[in-house]
Amino acid sequence: MNSCIVAFCCEHSAYPAADLAGKLKLHCPESLRIIRVPCAGRVDVIHILKAFENGAVAVLVLGCEDGACHHITGNTRAKERVKYCNMLLKEIEADGRHVAMFNLSPNEPHKFVRAVNEITKRIKESGR
């Protein structure tokens, strides 16, 4: 069975953070698939739902810190969409916690790894 975690990473924060995690040889689960987006605000509900439809077990949306979004409001808009997806998942009796939004800075690779570990923990808890 497929067990991919799809991470939509903002190219101003999370993507460089993921690169830095690589440079520092921090460990990430191999099932992680990073998709680069220009801003977390570009991620639409359909992108998240399609990821689940294609067999992903969890979806992460990673954007800039609150109040420090390169495009001012992109991260807050992404957060709203993630909340909406949480609700949709609950409605079909799936675990809503399998889609999550985290905020980080480009110089925070450890926070990136923590976000991935957090979602992995949630997957394990729900027994998939």
Partner 1 sequence: METKIGIFLCNCGEAIRNIDFAATKEEVAQIPGVSCVNLSSNLCLKEGKEKMISCIKEENIEKVVVAACSPEFKEHIFRQVLEDAGLNGHLFSTANIREQCSWVHDGDVTGKAVELIKMAVNRARLLQPVEKKKFAVNREVLVVGGGFAAINAALQLSRVGLRTTLLEREAILGSETAELGSLCGFDISSMMSEVEGDENIEILTSAEVTAAAGKIGDFTVRIRKGGDEASHKYGAVVLATGYQTKLALESELKSDVNIVSQKKLCRMLENPNLEIRPRTIGFMFDFSDENSRLPTLATLNNALAAKQKWDSEIYVFCKSLKVDGPGAEKLYREARDCGVVFLKCEARPRITAGNGRVKIEAKDVFLGEDTILACDLLVAEELLLPSEGTEALSSLLNIRRDSRGFYQDENVHLYPVASEKKGIFFVGGCRGDLDLSRVLTDVSSVVVSVYELLSSGNILAEVERVKVDPQKCVACLTCIRVCPHDAIQLVRVDGGKEVAEVFDLACDACGICAAMCPAKAITFQGYRDEEILAQVETIEES
Find the binding residues for partner 1 in span 79-98 (CB under 8 A): 81
Closest by CA to 103, choosing from 12, 4, 6, 5, is 12
| Among the listed residues 14, 15, 85, 115, the single contact to partner 1 using CB under 8 A | 15
**Residue type, position 60, single letter:** L
Q: Does 63 bind partner 1 (CB under 8 A)?
A: no
Distance separating alpha carbons of residues 50 and 53, to the nearest angstrom: 5
| Among the listed residues 34, 58, 104, 123, the single contact to partner 1 using CB under 8 A | 34
Please compute Rg for the chain using Cα positions: 14
Task: Answer for the pair 105, 13: CB distance below 8 angstroms, yes or no.
Answer: yes
Q: Where does this chain bind partner 1 (CB under 8 A)?
A: 2, 4, 6, 11-13, 15-16, 18-23, 25-28, 30, 33-39, 41-44, 46-47, 50-51, 54-56, 64, 67-74, 77, 81, 105
